[in-house]
Amino acid sequence: MRIGMLGCGNIGRFLLQSLNQEGSKEKIVAIHSRNYEKTTKIAESYGAKSYASLESFLEADLDLVVEVATIEVVHASALTVLEKRLPLIVSSIGAFSERKFLQAVQEKCTNCETEVYIPSGAVGGLDLIQSANVLGGLESVQLMTRKPAHSLQGAENIVKEKVVFEGTAHEAIMLYPRNMNVAIAISLAGIGAERTTVQLIADPSIEKNIHTITARGDFGEFSLEVNNEAMPGNPKTSYLAALSVLSSVKEESRRIKIL
């Protein structure tokens, strides 16, 4: 499988290290990012090629495109990628907090007969939420996220844990589009951003992000807690988020898929 990658930051390098090794069926062959010179050096060290423009990148005979850049990159490139009938894995899912953009992506997928895949990211349980909601029997979904205080703007100097937000996932996404990817993923899998409730806690005593998801419905109820370790050498990125992108890439080439 020939993979094109948008972005070449921490998760991008992790994917290069994981995929571009001898014997791998999936290889990143093309990279496009805003820093062409820096990306060129990185790409060459892993046997890939860097492209200066999105247009030339998309002419590289690709089977799949993976975005590991920013929300802005998703907004600027997703529709063009889908227009080429290429499946797209999106890691910066905060891009879908804008309803009009989400609708445009959905319509483009239908018209061009292709797909967008959203990795589970920093949490699990999305398959349970999706299954519980398939016949409309999901009644409520709550997310409680506890983050290190120093990682949240405006909460850096608090001395004890504090609830900094409580409301709907839609409101949380509007206020924290880069910090609430989990809320977006849960909303897309379940009952929507207006009905999913979120509590965000800033805690100066912790160094990990802790997510607790609770869902109730006709199926019963479940509660799931995930304590996320950071990527080695990069405290701002969840290791599980990077692994979920890698898993999504691997899943594309499997003959037997767990859905």
Mean pLDDT by 10 residues, the chain (259 residues): 96 95 90 96 96 97 96 97 97 89 96 93 86 91 94 88 95 83 91 94 93 95 91 78 91 67
30-52 core/surface letters (b: 16 or more CB in 10 A; e: else): bbbbeeeeebbebbeebebbbbe
Do both 145 and 194 map to the same domain? Answer: yes
Do both 18 and 113 map to the same domain? Answer: yes
Do both 140 and 57 map to the same domain? Answer: no
Residue 235 is assigned to a structural domain of this protein: no
Do both 171 and 196 map to the same domain? Answer: yes
- What range does the domain containing 215 cover? 126-228
Residue 49 is assigned to a structural domain of this protein: yes
How many distinct structural domains can be found in the chain?
2
Do both 201 and 133 map to the same domain? Answer: yes
Residue 258 is assigned to a structural domain of this protein: no
> Within 13 Å of residue 257, how many CA atoms lie on the same side as its CB?
10
Residue 32 is assigned to a structural domain of this protein: yes
The reported pLDDT for the residue numbered 81 is: 98
CATH number of the CATH domain containing 16: 3.40.50.720
CA distance 143 to 200: 8
Residue 105 is assigned to a structural domain of this protein: yes
Residue 14 is assigned to a structural domain of this protein: yes
CATH number of the CATH domain containing 200: 3.30.360.10
Residues with catalytic function: 211
CA distance 112 to 102: 15
Do both 113 and 131 map to the same domain? Answer: no
Cβ neighbors of 190 (< 8 A, separation 6 or more) are 129, 130, 132, 133, 138, 141, 196, 215
What tokens were used for 115? 């797909």
Residue 259 is assigned to a structural domain of this protein: no
Find tokens 């800033």 and name the residue: 202
Do both 113 and 155 map to the same domain? Answer: no
For residues 225, 227, 228, 229, the Cα torsion angle rounded to the nearest 10 degrees is -160
The reported pLDDT for the residue numbered 253 is: 74
Do both 108 and 146 map to the same domain? Answer: no
